[in-house]
Amino acid sequence: MRSQESQRYCPRCGSARLRWASGLPQLWSVYDCEECGYRGPLVVEDGELAEKLRKRWLRGLASGRIRKRQQK
């Protein structure tokens, strides 16, 4: 019996707002982050690591070193 599917987080900003990239069938393992615009096959499944990434990302936004993804 398989346990619940683990939560996936963005490796750039730690957000849980990830979705599979749409389009070509070959992109089934590519994720898009709705928060920062990351697009790639790597995701973080460790919630503690994701929280650290999230804090670092938010500090960067607050300092102006990082800009939030532009809405289309």
Integer Cα distance of 19 and 12 in angstroms: 14
Integer Cα distance of 59 and 16 in angstroms: 18
Other beta carbons within 10 angstroms of residue 50's beta carbon come to: 21
**Whole-number pLDDT of residue 29:** 81
pTM score, whole prediction = 0.75
Q: Is residue 29 assigned to a domain?
A: yes
pLDDT winner (highest mean) among 1-5, 43-47, 67-71: 43-47
What is the distance, to the nearest Å, from the Cα of residue 59 to the centroid of all Cα atoms in its chain?
Answer: 16
Q: Is residue 45 assigned to a domain?
A: yes
Rounded to a whole number of angstroms, the CA Rg of the chain reads 13
The boundaries of the domain holding residue 33 are 1-60
Return the structure tokens found at 23. 């389009």
Q: Is residue 22 assigned to a domain?
A: yes
Assess whether pLDDT exceeds 70 at residue 34.
Answer: yes
